């Protein structure tokens, strides 16, 4: 539990990450003793699940590979069933520095979804070529949709509050770029507030990244298609019952207010 | 009624139906891409069936209409092949799921009585 009384779950989607996982989990435990972790082992062929369990993390093993989106949907359902107040998505490959998690949590007061974003002052990394154009296109369009400046829309480093956990547990796109772009568009279109926090990301500690520069051109085309679909798709009506402005969201706000008062008194 | 009226109406209806299914999130991206391409090709052909006449003659087919019939047949064949492939993959996954459920049940049965918590079978 955080000092102000919130229960936080870090969800790590992992696919064949046995090599670096124990270091990543160790770092989380050391820097953030108040959080709990869930590793979603997505049909790994290596010892990912064993390594995670040995490091003291909860583990959910999928029988076959569902992709990051499928794994995250399971993560959000787990967070809902276990009553967590905050869910944070962190890569299992060590690219995301847990030292930034408190900054993400701090901004959850003013937004429902907080993204740890590169290209915003912190860190050195710059993309090149078609991949960079795709990222720029996504940033411009998504910034307009969410009414806030977004510089790294494909970042998998994000935190969300309880209403959004409920939302993602019911609706989470599992297709290509669904876990990043489409989930963001869906949440924004239903009225959830999005913010970003500048972070630096590290190079992968082990293995190699799934995206190569050769695939960057295809990436550009597919990103465009995903964006088009995300914008024209109709959001299921019953999801609006969870969004800001609904009675259930108002009840959530009241509860948060009471919790904060309790935390300052105690 | 003219042939072009019939084909153009069909083209429009098919394209509209594809778009509506997409909007309702009932078509996944991988199918959406195929069907959008097909719709975009079919709709204009509906308006101008004679567009293909010259192409047809150059590949040795008497008229554009028979070329469309032939191409349509090949397309339907490919699509159904693709669906068979997908169905096979789904069947393999269902099998894995069923095995997993069986393993979990045997694990539950191994637990000492009372530790199960839920309904016993
Ligand atoms: N559950 C799941 N996780 C995956 C899959 N592919 C990659 N990941 C995880 O997603 C995170 C980011 O993957 P990575 O390949 O580094 O993507 P990048 O950081 O965008 O280049 C890592 O924690 C991976 O283990 C997958 O198919 N399923
Ligand atoms: Mg990575």
Closest ligand 1 atom to Cα of A211: 21
Q: Give the pLDDT band of residue B121 (cuts 50, 70, 90).
A: very low
**A221 interface with B at CB cutoff 8 Å:** no
The pLDDT of residue A240 is above 50: yes
Q: Which of A17-21, B15-19, B48-52, B67-71 has the highest mean pLDDT?
A: A17-21
A94 sits in the region (left: phi over 0; alpha: psi -120 to 50; else beta) called left
The pLDDT of residue A7 is above 90: yes
Report helix, strand or coil for B82. Answer: helix
The protein residue whose alpha carbon is closest to atom 19 in ligand 1 is A209
CATH architecture assigned to A8-265: Alpha-Beta Complex (3.90)
For chain A, report the end-to-end CA distance as a whole number of angstroms. Answer: 14
**B96 contacts A64? CB cut-off 8 A:** yes
**A175 contacts B29? CB cut-off 8 A:** yes
Chain A residue numbers touching B100 (CB-CB < 8 A) = 63
pLDDT of the residue at A57: 96
**B97 contacts A229? CB cut-off 8 A:** no
The pLDDT of residue A13 is above 90: yes
pLDDT of the residue at A125: 67
pLDDT of the residue at A209: 55
The pLDDT of residue A93 is above 90: yes
Burial class (CB in 10 A: 0-12, 13-18, 19+), A15: buried
**A229 contacts B22? CB cut-off 8 A:** yes
Query: Rounded to two decimals, what is the model's pTM?
Result: 0.87
The pLDDT of residue A261 is above 90: no
B31-55 average pLDDT score: 77
Reading the block at residue A12, the tokens are: 């790590």
Interface of B with A in 50-109 (CB under 8 A): 93, 96-97, 100
Burial class (CB in 10 A: 0-12, 13-18, 19+), A4: middle
Residue A211, ligand 1, Cβ within 6 A: yes
pLDDT of the residue at A220: 82
| A30 vs A136: which has the higher pLDDT | A30
| A163 vs A129: which has the higher pLDDT | A163
What is the domain partition of chain B in residue ranges?
Answer: 1-48, 63-121
The whole-chain average pLDDT of chain A stands at 90
CA–CA dist A183, A165 (Å, integer):
12
Question: In three state form, how does the secondary structure of chain A look?
Answer: CCCCCCCEEEEEEECCCHHHHHHHHHHHHHHCCCCEEEEEEECCCCCHHHHHHHCCCEEEEECCCCHHHHHHHHHHHHHHHCCCCEEEECCCCCCCCHHHHHHHHHHCCCCCEEEEECCCCCCCCCCCHHHHHHHHHHHHHHHHHHCCCCCCCCCCCEEEEHHHHHHHHHCCCCCCCHHHHHHHHHHHHCCCCEEEEECCCCCCCCCCCCCCHHHHHHHHHHHHHHHHHHHHCCCCHHHHHHCCCCHHHHHHHHHHHHHHHHHHHC
Query: What is the complex's ipTM, to 2 decimals?
Result: 0.71
pLDDT of the residue at A202: 87
**Taking the CB of residue A70, how many other CB atoms lie within 10 A of it?**
22
pLDDT of the residue at B120: 44
């Amino acid at each position: 539990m955080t000092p102000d009384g919130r229960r936080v779950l870090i969800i790590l989607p992992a696919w064949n990450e046995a090599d670096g996982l124990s270091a990543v989990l160790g770092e989380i435990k050391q820097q953030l003793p108040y959080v709990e972790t869930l590793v979603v082992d997505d049909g790994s062929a290596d010892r990912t699940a064993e390594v995670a369990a040995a490091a003291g993390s909860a583990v959910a093993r999928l029988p076959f590979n569902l992709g990051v989106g499928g794994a995250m949907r399971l993560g959000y359902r787990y967070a809902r069933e276990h009553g967590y107040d905050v869910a944070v998505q962190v890569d299992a490959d060590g690219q995301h520095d847990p030292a930034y998690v408190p900054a993400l949590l701090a901004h959850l007061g003013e937004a429902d979804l907080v993204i740890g974003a590169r290209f915003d002052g912190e860190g050195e990394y710059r993309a090149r070529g078609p991949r960079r154009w795709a990222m720029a296109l996504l940033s411009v369009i998504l910034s307009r949709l969410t009414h806030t400046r977004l510089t790294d829309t494909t970042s998998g480093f994000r935190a969300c509050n309880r209403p959004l956990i409920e939302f993602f547990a019911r609706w989470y796109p599992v297709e290509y770029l669904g876990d990043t772009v489409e989930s963001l568009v869906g949440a924004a279109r239903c009225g959830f507030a999005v913010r970003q926090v500048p972070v630096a990301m590290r190079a992968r500690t082990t293995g190699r990244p799934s995206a190569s520069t050769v695939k960057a051109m295809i990436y550009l085309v597919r990103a465009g298609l995903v964006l088009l679909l995300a914008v024209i798709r109709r959001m299921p009506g019953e999801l609006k019952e969870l969004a800001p402005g609904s009675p259930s969201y108002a009840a959530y706000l009241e509860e948060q207010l009471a919790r904060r008062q309790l935390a300052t008194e105690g | 009624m003219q042939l072009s009226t019939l084909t153009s109406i069909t083209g429009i209806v098919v394209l509209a139906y594809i778009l509506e299914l997409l909007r309702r999130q009932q078509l996944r991206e991988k199918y959406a891409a195929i069907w959008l391409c097909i719709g975009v090709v079919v709709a204009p052909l509906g308006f101008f069936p004679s567009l293909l006449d010259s192409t047809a003659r150059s590949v040795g087919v008497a008229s554009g209409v028979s070329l469309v019939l032939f191409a349509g047949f090949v397309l339907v064949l490919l699509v159904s092949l693709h669906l068979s492939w997908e169905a096979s993959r789904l069947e393999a996954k269902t099998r894995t799921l069923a095995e997993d459920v069986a393993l979990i049940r045997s694990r539950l049965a191994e637990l000492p009585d009372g530790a199960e918590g839920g309904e016993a079978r």
